[in-house]
Amino acid sequence: MRVSFLHSLPVRLAGLILLLSGITLLVLTEINRRAVERILVEQAEVQAALATNAVVDGVDAVVGGAERLGKFIARDLETRTVVAADVERIARNAVIDNPSVFGVSISFQPKVLGAGPEYVGVYVHRTNAVSKFVSRDLAAPDQTYWTRDWYREAIDKGMPVWSEPFFDQGGTDRNVVRLAVPFFRPVANGDLEPAGVVAAVIELDWLRRLANSNEFSDTSYTIIFSRTGKLIIHPKANYVIAETIETLAEKTNTPELPSIRQNVIAKRQGSLAYAEAVTGRRVHVNYKPAKFAGWGVILGYDESEFLKNQKAFRVLAAKYFGATLLILAGIVIGITRYALRPLGQLATAADEIAKRNLDCVIAEPARPDEVGHLTGAFRAMRDALKAQHLERRWASQALDHQLKYNQLIIDSIGELVFVLTKAMNISRINPAVTRVTGYQPADMVKSPLAKVVALDPGAVPASARDELAETLRVGRSLENLPATVITKAGGRIAVRLTLVPLVDGGRVVGGVVTLRVEQPGQSST
């Protein structure tokens, strides 16, 4: 029987070796991959945390500087007397001395400066030209600062107020935020009353430059939002001021953003990772609140960017792994086929031997190893089986001839011959029995010997008659006992009985009884 290629021993052995080695290599590769990816992600998290801190520090430096400037000017105005002519100079000097501040305005309550106009308000801000400033009269009919929300809110609350980001249309035409700090004057009863508002204006373009300067990867981005959640900085410029954290979460299907804002409001910082519902990419974000103005900073990045080299390595490793397994499979199959090729020939020879073809060819052993010894032993077994088969065939033929000759001898004997079983039943008779008794073999076979033969009671002791079957059972012989043969017609013939047991391997299997007919006047010797 020919074995198919897939079921052959070399292929199955190669499959087992490849399976075990493949599982081992896959486990080791996966462990290494996870360890490397974990290291890469941790490095990215460290870089993100550093970048987030840098952005927050930059925000605090500018926003905090603007708040300190506004409070300083407010305290200064509370402790000295100024006239209308000094207001523009104070504002201009503040802008000149603080490059991060885009403009400064000083506005007074009615009649606070005494003689002169009822309302005094000046706004000095930078222009696109270097070292060039523009002054605006906030008391002009188109300004009327005392009616503006930023002014009224600071006066009413009596504390510094940061505005939400807004586009200063008609003013600086920029996206800006304003800090309004009220200042006070003592009254007659010792109380303080609002005397005016100092406002510092910060334009937001520097925030984008700050965010860009702290990008640490191609996919990193920065979002800065105000205390109410309005976007101050976002990678998409059209989202700035127009969107909030909540509306952005709805647009991008990112429920994590409102949670981040709540953490920032609670002055907590942290990081988290989530999968974007739209793109499916895995994003990591770090968030941290700023110390001033209630702002929050979110810095995010795409995890896959830091793992792209690892993914490329995985593809290369997979190709190398596959090539290695193929080469290993070829080596294993080649070696095992070479080593086990004689086994295939022996299997073919075994099939032929099973079909009783003992003339099949078994090659001489070519190697002195175990397979060679097996081949030699197989050849010896074949030769021994072949010799044994020949001996058995010769023995069988000799036995057939012997049985044929024995039958001829028995049939030629003139004496009556009965072949008995161990139970004294007749299994075969010779022609002399049929001729003398008149019984046919069919009438005698399987019948007890006593049906036709009886020992002479007068000449044989009773004990001998009783122990005839026992004598056969124990394998003893009896000779020349007087007996009588009863013919089919009822006649009686005097005979001499001889019993010889048949023994096979030391075990009695039957017996042979011969009866010699006595002639008149003949006596036993």
What's the first-to-final CA gap in the chain, in angstroms? 71
**Which tens digits make up the pLDDT trace of 174-220?**
889 999 999 998 887 778 899 999 999 998 888 888 888 888 888 88
Note whether 47 and 305 are within 8 A (CB).
Answer: no
More confident residue, 94 or 467: 94
For residue 92, the model assigns a pLDDT of 94
Rounded Cα distance between 180 and 160, Å, is 6
Q: Is this structure's pTM higher than 0.95?
A: no
Rounded Cα distance between 273 and 303, Å, is 9
What percentage of the chain reaches a pLDDT higher than 70? Answer: 87
The answer for residues whose C-beta is within 8 angstroms of residue 478's C-beta and 6 or more apart is: 464, 468, 471, 497, 498, 499
**Which tens digits make up the pLDDT trace of 380-421?**
887 787 777 777 776 566 555 555 555 556 666 778 999 988
Note whether 273 and 254 are within 8 A (CB).
Answer: no
pLDDT over 60 at 116, yes or no: yes
Tokens of 216: 């640490």
- Round the average pLDDT of the chain to a whole number and report it: 83
57-71, 266-280, 340-354: range with highest mean pLDDT? 57-71
pLDDT over 80 at 263, yes or no: yes
Burial of 518 (0-12, 13-18, 19+ CB in 10 A): middle
More confident residue, 42 or 71: 71
The answer for residues whose C-beta is within 8 angstroms of residue 297's C-beta and 6 or more apart is: 52, 55, 56, 59, 222, 223, 224, 287, 288, 289, 290
3-state secondary structure of 523: coil
Burial of 394 (0-12, 13-18, 19+ CB in 10 A): exposed
Angle 414-419-421 from CA coordinates, rounded to 5°: 165
The answer for residues whose C-beta is within 8 angstroms of residue 99's C-beta and 6 or more apart is: none
**Which tens digits make up the pLDDT trace of 414-441?**
789 999 888 889 998 989 999 899 999 8
Q: Are strands 175-186 and 478-486 parallel, antiparallel or unpaired?
A: unpaired
Quick one: average pLDDT of 295-301?
A: 92
- In this prediction, residue 373 has a pLDDT band, given cuts at 50, 70 and 90, of confident
